[in-house]
């Protein structure tokens, strides 16, 4: 039987590994990601090693700095249900190997700006 502490430690280690993987995929140093996310280098290192549990706000800052959806971080941190699935547009942009990190960030910001003002039942009138 696995205790709650062991489950939490495993979850933190998996979250840290995911953040490290995303950082390495973006070809970003630990220091650069920490700067972009507005957190200290040692704190980010502790998160990546599974020693610290970041707040939702820190996860959001890291996601923004990595140009990924904050919701994917929240799911991995256990803050959202596992059934969450990002829109296909977001997944496609994040997975595109041709786009730079900055290009992905700009596209996703534009996409989010466009969809924030659209009601689900609202149809475009031409």
Which pLDDT tens digit goes with each residue over 78-99?
887 665 555 677 778 887 888 8
Q: Is pLDDT of 61 > 60?
A: yes
Q: Is pLDDT of 106 > 60?
A: yes
Distances (CA, A) of 109 to 3, 64, 67, 72, 120: 41, 10, 9, 16, 19
Q: Does the structural domain 4-82 have CATH classification 3.40.50.1970?
A: no
Domain ranges of the chain: 4-82, 86-119
pLDDT digits (tens, 9 = 90+) for 4-52: 777 777 888 999 999 999 999 889 999 999 999 999 999 999 999 999 9
Beta-carbon neighbour count of residue 115 at 10 Å? 12
């Amino acid at each position: 039987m696995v205790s709650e502490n062991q489950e939490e430690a495993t979850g933190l280690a998996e979250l840290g590994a995911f953040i490290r993987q995303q950082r390495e995929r973006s070809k970003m140093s630990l220091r650069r990601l920490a700067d972009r996310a507005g957190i200290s280098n040692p704190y980010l290192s502790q998160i990546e090693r599974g020693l610290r549990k970041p707040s939702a706000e820190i996860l959001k800052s890291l996601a923004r700095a990595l140009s990924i959806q904050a919701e994917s971080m929240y799911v991995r941190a256990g803050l959202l249900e596992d059934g969450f699935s990002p829109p296909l547009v977001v997944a496609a942009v994040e997975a595109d190997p041709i786009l730079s990190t900055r290009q992905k960030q700009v596209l996703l910001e534009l996409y989010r700006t466009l969809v924030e003002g659209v009601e689900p039942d609202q149809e475009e009138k031409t």
